[in-house]
Structure 1
Amino acid sequence: DPAFSPALRDGITALWADVSNAGGAVGFVPPVTAEEIRPELLKHLVAIEEGRTRLLVGRDEDGTVAATAFLALNTHRLMKHWLWLYTVMVHPRHQGQGHGRDLMAATADAARS
């Protein structure tokens, strides 16, 4: 889980807007702006702060947020081995290059830890 900062927040909202506007099924109907996405991201951030969700972030060669996934933990005592994966995104300009595969491999590793 990366340390959260305003730059990371802005990078995720920009990614989310770009993915949405390219037709990605990530909770918004295009056209959408980063400002419209921010309240939904804040819900994810609260869950992270409360320890209910983990965040995975992939960056491109310039350090820009290029991929994300939110891994929601199950708090039921008998089902802690169940996890949910939400809002999996790879920026459109990085699709088809293996970034999604790398993100899913990292997510599987995070789920096991």
Structure 2
Amino acid sequence: MEALHGVSSGKFDIKSPADKFFTSFTDDIDSTFDIISKEKITESVGWEKRTVTLNMCGNLVSDSYNTFKATITVTPREDETDGSRVVWTVEYEKIRRDIGDPVWIIDILINYLKETDEYLCM
């Protein structure tokens, strides 16, 4: 039987400096995720640790999930002078057991983060 609660996480490296990427990401976040969630709540933005936590609801999210919380942290890479590491974690609760995991929402989030990096490196 499928669990109602779930967590998905991952990490990847980007070419952009951590501060530049984090500023760009947080400045544009509200307009970017309108496709998924018309009513989103930025729970917190931690500038010191470059962490943002979003609780998304409304529109496509609430049709399938009671909760959808994404946390993104950007840190400078220690092994090189340029670039950063993005760590993301998504916690969710499905409204019913027959609902699939939110892979498509996570894919949109990851693609957005990677496209932001590409744009900043132009």
Greater relative contact order (CA < 8 Å, ≥ 6 in sequence): 2
Shorter-normalised TM range: 0.3 to 0.5
Q: Which structure dedicates a bigger proportion of its chain to helix?
A: 1
TM-score normalised by L of structure 2: 0.37
Q: Which one has the bigger strand percentage?
A: 2
TM-score if structure 1 supplies the norm length?
0.39
